[in-house]
Amino acid sequence: MYQTTIRHLFVTSAFLAFSMSAESAEQRGVTDGEIRIGQTMPYSGALSAYSALGKAEIAYFNLVNDRGGINGRKIKLI
pLDDT digits (tens, 9 = 90+) for 17-74: 666 555 554 567 888 899 999 888 888 999 989 899 989 999 999 999 999 999 999 9
28 touches 78 (CB < 8 A): no
**Global pTM value:** 0.60
Q: Which domain covers residue 38, as residue numbers?
A: 31-78
**Is the same domain home to 73 and 37?**
yes
Interatomic CA distance for residues 29 and 70, integer angstroms: 14
Q: How many domains does the chain have?
A: 2
Are 67 and 36 contained in the same domain? yes
Instruction: Examine the domain organization and report whether 25 and 45 are in the same domain.
Output: no
Rounded Cα–Cα distance for residues 59 and 65 (Å) = 10
